[in-house]
Amino acid sequence: MSTLTATAEKPRTASPRPDYRVTGRRVLASEWAKLWTLRSTWITLGLGLLFLVVFGLIAASRYKSLVGSPRMDQDFARSTAVSLSLFGANFAQLALGVLGVLAMAGEYSSGTIRSTLAAVPRRLPVLWSKSVVYGLVALALGTVGAFIAFLIGSRILAGTPAAMGLGHAGAVRSLLGAGLYLGLVGVIGIALGGLLRSVAGGISVLVATLMLVPGLMSLLPSSWQDHITPYLPSSSGRAMFALTQDATTLSPGTGLLVFLVWTSLALAGAAYRLLRNDA
């Protein structure tokens, strides 16, 4: 038998197939990559940070210019460096919430959700991974923005009744609470995008929940307002980073628990529809 024949008769060993198993880590990595490939991610996160810092500094500058003036409103006169620096959170929450809606509902609008669910047949890991990835991004941006606004705002407010530093009781807790609130708003945006599967619908519900519904509470009898308003998503969220509380507001811990309940309900609705309805 020739050497050539002997070589040809040797059994071929099949090359090992690559491991394509779906794991939680891989789904997270996929959602992380998808988030940062969107141009809207960079633009909207930049706007969120800009709103948080710039509006806080504008509020601090406005306060300093009116100190001692009879034109200063009494409520504004009771402001602190924390409340003034976090004034921009009202605007940053919209930017971060809208991006959450876009990150989820945008896949339904473009049709790419079919590819995503084909790669992850169990479906729910997609929702959890999107929520974790974007929630952490929004948390980090909100926390960094809150501290930047406070540190710069504190210099502007030096020498005024509102002045305070990081060592002031409750200051760090309020700034961290603001970052956590914005992170959870981002998660709610993801949940609304998955629940409604429409960018326009998700954004409309988000704006109504955070901005319009609290204003409509003024139409209710005052006795109803006292029992309902503190438990709205916007009110309980603000309680998370409020430096002081009164009889009509929740404590920071209670506000966090209430807001977590709202976030869980939104995620539960999105999870139910993801399981029950096709893409």
Distance CA 77, CA 83 (A): 11
Q: What is the pLDDT of residue 20?
A: 56
Give me the count of residues in the chain: 279
How many angstroms separate the CA atoms of 54 and 34, rounded?
A: 29
Cα dihedral value 260, 262, 268, 270, nearest 10: -120
User: What pLDDT was estimated at residue 202?
Assistant: 95
The per-residue pLDDT for 11 is 54
Give 189-230 pLDDT, tens digit per residue: 999 999 999 999 999 999 999 999 888 888 888 878 888 999
Task: Determine contact, residues 193/103, Cβ cutoff 8 Å.
Answer: yes
Rounded to a whole number, what is the distance in angstroms from the first to the last CA of the chain?
62
Domain extents in the chain:
23-276
Nearest to 42 by CA among 93, 89, 95, 85: 95
Q: What is the pLDDT of residue 2?
A: 47
Q: Running along the chain, 279 residues long, what does each successive block of 10 average in pLDDT?
A: 47 53 83 89 95 96 86 83 94 96 92 86 91 97 97 93 91 96 97 95 95 86 85 94 86 95 97 86
235 near 246, Cβ under 8 Å? no
> H/E element holding 56?
helix 39-66
Angle between helices 171-196 and 233-241 (to 10 degrees): 150
pLDDT for res 268: 97
